[in-house]
């Protein structure tokens, strides 16, 4: 019973902050409230050579990934993994609102809204008024959108094989563990801090 009371108190606080009565939005808000704040970057700075090496190789790999992405998506009806991420998020969140999609994305809100509009024009997404709250519109995946997701997943597997190069299975597992840790760190930072706070914390 105590947990139920805490949840109701959190719901009241969520509404008092001016948020709409949207359970998906409440879930995202609640996640921010209960997750621990990320540690600040830069308290133990890398040695100059290590910083240069990390920046160089990470940046180069990102460039290669973008080049292979352009090749992989050449014959697909969407532009790349940015479009795919929006489609897949709609599938995973089971018909979220546009605001919820923007909250989960690292892109600017206005950019996310434009991407959603473009994917709607292409027939991969549609929206409709929420059945219980007519003030809210929810985004739905169409059959065509579902088909595109399947096509992209096949390409993603092939791209993953390409990106890991000649690493052994053991090396790949080690790399995946490190990337997961980095992903969790940056996801927490993105979720819990404003751009201004991140800039100040890390002297960017």
> Is 43-163 CATH 3.40.50.1000?
no
Average the pLDDT over 163-191 and give the result: 90
Confidence of residue 104 (pLDDT cuts 50, 70, 90): confident
Q: Where are the domains of the chain?
A: 43-163, 167-204
Is the confidence at residue 1, as pLDDT, over 50?
A: no
The per-residue DSSP string of 59-90 comes to HHHHHHHHHHHHHHTTTSSS-SHHHHHHHHHH
Q: What is the pLDDT of residue 3?
A: 44
Q: How far apart are CA 70 and CA 102, in angstroms?
A: 24
Task: Please count the residues of the chain.
Answer: 204
Mean pLDDT across the chain: 82
Q: Which residues contact 141 (CB under 8 A, 6 or more apart)?
A: 87, 90, 91, 95, 124, 125, 149
Could you give phi then psi for residue 118, rounded to 5 degrees? -65, -40
pLDDT (tens digit, 9 = 90+) per residue, 112-134? 999 999 999 999 999 988 888 88
């Amino acid at each position: 019973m105590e947990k139920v009371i805490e949840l109701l108190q959190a719901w009241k606080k969520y509404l008092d902050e001016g948020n709409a009565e949207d359970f998906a939005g409440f879930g995202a808000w609640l996640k921010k409230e209960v997750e621990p704040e990320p540690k600040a970057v830069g308290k133990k700075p890398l040695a100059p050579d290590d910083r240069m090496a990390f920046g160089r190789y990470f940046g180069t790999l990102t460039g290669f990934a973008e080049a292979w992405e352009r090749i992989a998506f050449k014959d697909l009806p969407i532009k790349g993994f940015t479009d795919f991420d929006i489609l897949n998020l709609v599938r995973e969140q089971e018909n979220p609102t546009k605001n919820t999609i923007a909250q989960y994305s690292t892109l600017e809100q206005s950019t996310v809204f434009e991407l959603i509009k473009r994917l709607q024009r292409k027939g991969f997404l549609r929206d409709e008024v929420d059945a219980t709250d007519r003030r809210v519109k929810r985004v739905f995946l169409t059959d065509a959108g579902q088909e595109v997701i399947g096509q992209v997943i096949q390409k993603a597997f092939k791209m993953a094989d390409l990106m890991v190069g000649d690493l052994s299975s053991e090396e790949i597992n080690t790399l995946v563990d490190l990337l997961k840790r980095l992903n969790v760190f940056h996801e927490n930072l993105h979720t819990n801090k404003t751009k201004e706070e991140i800039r100040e914390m890390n002297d960017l």
